[in-house]
Structure 1
Amino acid sequence: MLIVTIGWLSKCFTQNVFFESEAIFLHTNETTFVTGETLLYKIYCLNANSKELSKISKIAYVEISDPNGKTISRNKITLNNGIGANEIFINTNFNTGNYKLIAYTNWMLNNPKSKYFETDIAIINPFEPFKNKTDNISITPSETIKSDDVNFKNEDVTIKLKNNYSKREKVLLDIILNSEKFKIGNYSLSVRRIDGLTFGNKIHSKDFINNSIDKFIYSSSISYLPELRGELLSGKLTSNDNLKTIKEKHLGMSVIGEPFDFKIVKTNNYGEFHFILDKEQKKSDIILQVLENEIDDFQIKINPPARAEIITPFKNNLNFTETSIKDIESRLVACQIVNAYSTKDSLITKPVNFIPFYNFIAKDFILDNYKRFSTFKETIIEIVPSVYFKENEGNYSLHIRNHATSVESFGSALVLVDGMLLQDVNELFNYNTKNIYKISIVNKAYAYGSKIFSGLISITTFNREYNPKTRNILPIQIERTNLDKVYKSINYETEKDFSRLPDFRFQLAWETNVSLTASPIHFFTSDVEGKYEINLEGFSINGEPLSIKEYFEVK
């Protein structure tokens, strides 16, 4: 049985145990987007009690929802010590209108008063006909945006830079620490051109932390397990036969390929199960099956993804004037040029260095090192002495023997093909062995998960994409975490090839890991004139919020 142990501070209150909750803050680059632009964000997942970065959840969810409650976009993000970052590309599937940007963890869903991140964003699709072209608008002109700038000054940290820059000039941004309070922490920086397209107010870390946060989750209300060790796949085993028990039944999960992922868990007294997915595995196609003799009597049901409820009301419809439409046209042209000419950002993909879980005790039989045989039966007899088969009325089973002692083991062997658990091995005896690269054997009792096998037989095909024929499996597609990204920046001092290309960037810099004690941050301005906003957000190691804004112009 999979047991999740919660080892955080817990206390008793009126015979009810309670645990520390979480709160999420999202630093975004903008609140109003034109299709073709990208919403950049950094996640700060905090312990709601201490305000320090949370060590509870390893997964967070970021969604964009429309006024009908439909989720238009959803990201599943890996958290490292409470921190994650990614993006949402605003494509033409978005209609013009107001949306909600929401961020939360599974653990937070146990308390409706938990501090989800929820804010209003506006999306404008210029490819749709504009509606409500009236002078009654809810747009704050760019000249008045900074009426509350006094709230974004900080005596402990200041940003030093020039007031004016020319096009494609290098900007050196000095961050000066006037005290030790924010020396150690986690911070992010956005530098972006501002215009009159401002629908709604941006939430900052200082505003977020000052709001009331429910600090605890009570055990009586726990319906969602925390993703403490990574992604969870949860569900329930059911049976149409009331005489069949659904408790303590074994289930197997397979992700076919290389690398593959294979897990075995046991259901609890209610038939519920939880798989912890391999964090290095990003494949969405998964196969589930029941590891019991009477597998036809059971059904596997997967829990749907949990979602946070929208708390605050949506804003009214967007209205446009001729002035705002000009701003939209400028943004549209700019993002089209950027998407066409800019250096593409890179997804972080780790090199595959896959070592199967049985690798250190298994013996490999690479078939090309032997005389090949046309049938699986001959291959077993002639090449793999540790394996033997039994046949009963056309049904085959595979077994393990210790070749050194000639002792035959009792019970079934664990049989895998490209990581796929194969309970009905009949199809192997009709399989073309020319497709098999190697057979790996563990010829002694093997415990895996909550089940013990007489040994292990793992078959690896050349293409690592075995297609099972058995019907007693449940193939599903699941949501996986987004790959991290590396954001490339233009450097006009070294990359001369850019001199002939147009540079219409509104977003001059996006840094998700800013050190306040390192060398000056530098970036280059673009060909777009106007006023730019520098926004530094984050939290000190003790959970103290930092929100700073500064401005400069490009002429």
Structure 2
Amino acid sequence: MYLTSRMITKQVLSLLLAWLVLSDSSLMAQDFGNAIYTRFNEYREKAIPEKVYVHTDKGFYLAGEILWFKLYYVNGTDNKPFDLSKIAYVELLDKDNKPVMQGKVALKSGFGDGSFYLPSSVNAGNYTLRAYTNWMKNFGPSSFYEQQVTIVNSLKPLPPQAPDTTNKYTARFFPEGGNLVSGLFSKVAFQVTDQYGKGLSFTGSLANQRNEVLLQFKPGKFGIGQFSFTPVAGDSYTATIVTTDGKTITKSLPAAYEQGYVMQLQEDANGQLQVSVSSNMPARTQQPEEVFLFAHSHQEIKVATRKAFVNGVARFTIDKSKLGEGISQITVFNDQKQPVCERLYFKPLKETLSIGASGNEAQYNNRKKVDLSLNTSIAGGKGTAANLSLSVYRIDSLSWQDQGNILSYLWLSSDLKGTIESPEYYFSSQSAEVTAALDNLLLVHGWRRFDWQEVLKSNAASFKYIPEFDGHFISGKISTGDNAAPVSFSKTYLSIAGTKLQFYPVLSGRYGDVRFDVRNYYGPGEIIIQSEEQIDSNFHVDIQNPYSDKYSADEVAPFSLSQQYQQTLTEGSINMQVQNAFYSDRLSQFAIPNIDTMPFFGNGYPKYLMDDYVRFNTTEEILREYVPDVAVRKSDGQFQLYIFNWETERHYKSSPLVLLDGVPVSIQKIMTYDPLKLRQLQVVTDRYVTGEFTYDGIISFTTYHGDLTDLKLDKQAVILDYDGLQLQREFYSPSYDTPEQAASHLPDFRNLLYWSPTIQTDATGKASLHFFTSDLKGKFAAVVQGIDNNGHAGSYSFTFEVK
């Protein structure tokens, strides 16, 4: 791995320290509160949270269309654009979690964008689009971004529309704090949903084992609500739920413990949080038992305090100003350092990004210019520079806007596991109704005890996947023979042939493991892996799949499309096929990545263009006649090359590294190579050091096309197809500025009028752009999303007509 000065930051150093083992002896001498505080601090310095949000151009597609997306990558602690990982992985999964499309997308200063062309082979259905970084794989698929998209293939028969008669309704009950305890008053939250996480309307009742009805209850928003009661020792409780469609669900409440702890949180008239912890645990000592309350917001410690029980209750007052905005996790520990209660609380955001957009008209004709003014501001209308993405698409009976947006995802959905129905609702206002619904939502997500198992364990947290600080990691294992014996501690090279030299040497590990830090490798191509080890039997290279093989448990809603949409589908299919027929070349243009083309060994070394010299018949003659930096020797019929060190005025004693199009080749092979195929020769006269490798100079040959023309590689070389970073497809939008352009006979059936993932407002929050309407009439939606450098996120949408 190559390290640069900009990588040596506090966060990077903290991540590197994650591989060290921390001593436990100092913690044993501390009290339980300080021990928890210390453990958490040690963990948070290593488990740096990342989040990825994806803005897609729309939610419904036809096979043959392009799915466009913008990535917003932020630090999970403060939701500010982040610059740690440089690669994001984006996948489109079918209902069986089989990847249909995959792409590696470059991230720069917290942003990236890409696209998927949906081929004619794709089947109709609902798909999951997900995105994550290599580092996020340590925390499982629940930390990945996911959204549902629908694809219809008009060139294939639609699957039969079997009615969904399963109605897998689920009722769940969540005692506040985590547990019911006999004799202790408790608040119980409930949630009743279908198998796709959608809330249901119902009436419910709670009864004991003697069928005595104790209370009745109804849900608030999205099938979520709460009731309170005191469980009696020895009793058990069952809820009976009757849905509006006549289904009856019976569900037993969690069993009440004979002894334990119960937690309650309330906000008083002064806006302070009152937390009471009740217990009926027997005293273990003559001193009153103490409990420790610990609160953190996005892994930033906010409150750490203790209280003793008085008459079985410990009371805490939390100043809300000490909590961070968004979700805080409040956990109560007993004096054995065991988490016994937990609750989530949401502190409203002081500022969000306000986005405004206005066009020059409320209604447009076909092929007319739309001038759009954008403005971004925070509290008080103060303008702020922000990074935005914009999609403008036609609304029809099949199109729909994504549920949620960047604001609700970063501050709510990403911090809760499972499906959140209509997350944007909880940011619609700060009314009593919305506040109550939000508190109910947090109650059904408020007990995450397993998180503390990793935090409190005695050894330091270890992580299998590390952040890709400066480029993509290609990892794998090299082995030999039929039994796949590992090739240990071998000099191993990965090369990417091309006019830009890419050469990555590593030393394999004890078990043959290798990891190459590959940078600026774009598009599909081939990688070549070689080992210096003289291997007589078969040389194997197993490259690790960089995409995660873990998937969330959330079910994808079944695909269903009734005949009433046939006309809309037919019209959309015709429009799509016409666009692809007339503009196929415009839809397949990709931007050339702005990357450093300097060779890996740098510039400033002698360079020889073969066409500038008289051509010789052998490489030996070229080196002897034109290249004074290289001495050619021959002993026992074998060539030897030595580079002259101009500082010491002597030749190096060891042979140099010899490359052809970035691929290491033997001296004998290059000396017999056809010199007419060589375009250029460079000689690195300095000793080159990288990691554990030292070379007494480099002789680098390149061919005219950078493709190793007619070179036969050694048997130790393995050539593999491997996709690099995704090339950025350029969005095509025709211009009708002149009457001649507007009078063009080429049809324009775009339903996506405009897509831009890289809009930047200035310091005053202003930006302007324009696009043109197509030949399609109807209602169009414009959706803007974005974030500023301080983590203020927001979205805005509006509609306009084309007559």
Task: Normalising by structure 1, report the TM-score.
Answer: 0.85
Choose 533-542 or 520-529, whichever is displaced more: 520-529
Matched, 1:222 2:463: yes
1:340 partner amino acid = A
Farther off after superposition, 402-411 or 56-65: 402-411
Secondary structure, aligned partner of 1:478: strand
Q: CA deviation at 1:134?
A: 8.4
Question: Are positions 1:526 and 2:767 aligned together?
Answer: no
Among 117, 134, 140, which residue is 1:106 paired with?
A: 134
Counterpart code for 1:530: G
Residue 738 (structure 2) aligned to one of 494, 498, 501: 494
Is 1:213 aligned to residue 415 of structure 2?
yes
2:129 pairs with 1:90: no
- The yes-or-no answer on 1:44 pairing with 2:286 is no
How far apart are residue 29 of structure 1 and its match? 1.5
Q: Which residue in the other structure is 1:398 paired with?
A: 641
Task: Provide the rounded CA distance (Å) in 1 between the counterparts of 2:392 and 2:117.
Answer: 18
Amino acid paired to 2:712? P
Q: What CA distance in whole angstroms lies between the structure 1 residues aligned with 2:559 and 2:396?
A: 16
Other-structure match for 2:719: 475
CA contact (8 A) 2:375 2:767 kept: no
Instruction: Tell me the alpha carbon deviations over residues 341-365 of structure 1, each in whole angstroms, 9 at most, x when there is no partner.
Output: 3481431115898443456453345
Q: Given the superposition, is the C-alpha separation of residues 390 and 292 from structure 1 closer, same or farther in structure 2, using an over 3 Å criterion?
A: farther
Matched with 1:145 is none
The letter of the residue matching 2:51 is A
Structure 1 unmatched runs, 5+: 138-147, 149-153
Of 403, 414, 428, which aligns to 1:202?
Answer: 403
Query: How far is 1:110 from its partner?
Result: 0.7
Letter in 2 for 1:435: K
Partner of 1:166: 365
Match of 2:751 among 482, 501, 506: 506
CA distance, structure 2, for counterparts of residue 374 and residue 269 of structure 1: 45
Which one is further off, 524-533 or 401-410?
A: 401-410
Closer, same or farther: CA 264–541 of 1 in aligned 2, 3 Å: same
Q: How does 1:248-267 map to 2 (within 5 A)?
A: 248-267=489-508
Secondary structure of the residue aligned to 1:536 is strand
In structure 2, distance between residues paired with 1:175 and 1:444: 54
CA positional deviation for 1:512: 1.5
Higher mean C-alpha deviation, range 473-482 or range 383-392: 383-392
132, 147, 150: which one aligns with 1:119: 147
Structure whose CA Rg is larger: 2
Is the 2:353–2:793 contact (alpha carbons within 8 Å) kept by the matching residues of 1?
A: no
The 1-side partners of 2:150 and 2:778 are apart by 22
Question: Residues 39-88 of structure 1, C-alpha deviation per residue, up to 9 Å, x if partnerless?
Answer: 11111111111101121111111111112221111121111111111211
Which amino acid counterpart does residue 192 of structure 1 have in structure 2? Answer: Y
- Answering whether residue 674 of structure 2 is matched by residue 454 of structure 1, we say no
Which deviations, in whole Å up to 9, do the C-alpha atoms of 1:152-192 show, x marking residues without a partner? xx994433344433323333333355644662222111111
Kindly tell me: are residues 114 and 98 of structure 1, through their superposed partners in 2, closer, same or farther at Cα, counting changes over 3 Å?
closer
How far 1:213 moved relative to its partner? 2.2
Of residues 283, 286, 290, the one that matches 2:531 is: 290
1:417 pairs with 2:616: no
Shift in Å at residue 238 of structure 1? Answer: 4.3
Q: Residue 274 of structure 2 corresponds to which residue in structure 1?
A: none
Distance 2:60 2:522 in 1: 34
Give per-residue Cα distances to partners, 1:83-142, cap 9 Å, x unaligned.
1112112221111111111111111101016531111111111111234468999xxxxx
Counterpart CA distance in 2 for 1:155 and 1:263 is 43
Distance verdict in 2 for CA 1:410–1:31, change over 3 Å: same
- One-letter amino acid matched to 1:506: N
User: Partners of 2:610 and 2:376 in 1: how far apart?
Assistant: 65
1:321 is matched with 562
User: Cα–Cα, structure 1 residues 187 and 360, in superposed 2: closer, same or farther, change >3 Å?
Assistant: closer
Residues 348-405 of structure 1, C-alpha deviations (whole Å, 9 max, x = no match): 115898443456453345555555443344544455453223434x554433356998
Alpha-carbon spacing, 1:114–1:229, altered in 2? closer, same or farther (3 Å)? farther
Structure 1 contact 134–320 (Cα < 8 Å) conserved? no
Instruction: Determine the structure 1 residue equivalent to 2:591.
Output: 348
CA change 1:212–1:468 in 2 (3 A) is same
Secondary structure of the 1:336 match is helix
2-side partners of 1:81 and 1:405: how far apart? 44
User: Match of 1:234, SS?
Assistant: strand
Using the TM superposition, give the Cα deviation of residue 324 of structure 1 relative to its aligned residue in structure 2, in angstroms. Answer: 0.7
Per-residue deviation, 1:297: 9.4
SS at match of 2:85: coil
Counterpart for residue 13 of structure 1: 39
Contact 1:120 1:200 in 2 (8 A): no
Change (3 A) 1:408 1:53: closer
| C-alpha separation in 2, matches of 1:533 and 1:546 | 17
Matched-pair contact (CA < 8 Å) for 2:407–2:794: yes
Does 1:53 find its partner at 2:81? Answer: yes
What is the alpha-carbon distance in structure 2 between the residues aligned to residue 402 and residue 524 of structure 1?
A: 62
CA distance in 2, matches of 1:199, 1:135: 22
Name the CA shift for 1:180/1:437 in 2 (closer, same or farther; >3 Å): same
Which residue matches 2:253?
none
Q: Give the superposition deviation at 1:197.
A: 1.2
CA displacement at 1:449 relative to structure 2: 4.3
Change (3 A) 1:525 1:379: closer
Aligned CA distance change for structure 1 residues 290 and 135 (closer, same or farther; 3 Å):
closer
SS at match of 2:68: strand
Q: 8 Å contact 2:58–2:391 — kept in the other structure?
A: no
- Percent identity of the aligned residues? 27
Q: Whole-Å Cα distance in 1 between the matches of residues 162 and 142 of structure 2?
A: 39
Q: 1:312 to 1:333 in 2, by over 3 A?
A: farther
For 1:30 and 1:85, the matched residues in 2 are separated by 15
1:188 is matched with which residue?
A: 389
Q: Distance in 1 between matches of 2:401 and 2:610?
A: 65
Deviation at 1:483, TM superposition (A): 1.5
Per-residue deviation at 1:522? 2.6
1:554 is matched with: 802
One-letter code of the match for 1:287? I
Distance, in Å, in 1 between the alignment partners of 2:536 and 2:383 is: 59
Question: CA–CA distance in 1 between the matches of 2:354 and 2:752?
Answer: 27
Contact 2:128 2:556 in 1 (8 A): no
Q: Which amino acid aligns with 1:502?
A: P
Larger CA deviation: 397-406 vs 38-47: 397-406
User: C-alpha distance in 2, partners of 1:465/1:285?
Assistant: 10
Amino acid in structure 2 at the alignment position of 1:413: P
Question: Which stretch of structure 1 is more off in the superposition, 201-210 or 227-236?
Answer: 201-210
Relative to the length of structure 2, the TM-score reads: 0.60
Q: Is the 8 A contact 1:537 1:546 kept in 2?
A: yes
Aligned residues: 537
Instruction: Note closer, same or farther for the CA distance 1:135–1:195 as it changes in structure 2 (3 Å cut).
Output: farther
Counterpart in the other structure of 2:786: 538
Moved more, 382-391 or 528-537: 382-391
Give the aligned partner of residue 142 of structure 1.
none
1:465–1:245 CA distance, 2 compared to 1 (3 A) = closer
Is the alpha carbon distance of 1:444 and 1:121 closer, same or farther for their aligned partners in structure 2, counting shifts above 3 Å? Answer: closer
Q: How far apart are the structure 1 equivalents of 2:120 and 2:617?
A: 54
Unmatched segments (≥5 aa) in structure 2? 19-37, 166-221, 223-351, 418-450
Report SS of the residue matched to 2:564.
helix
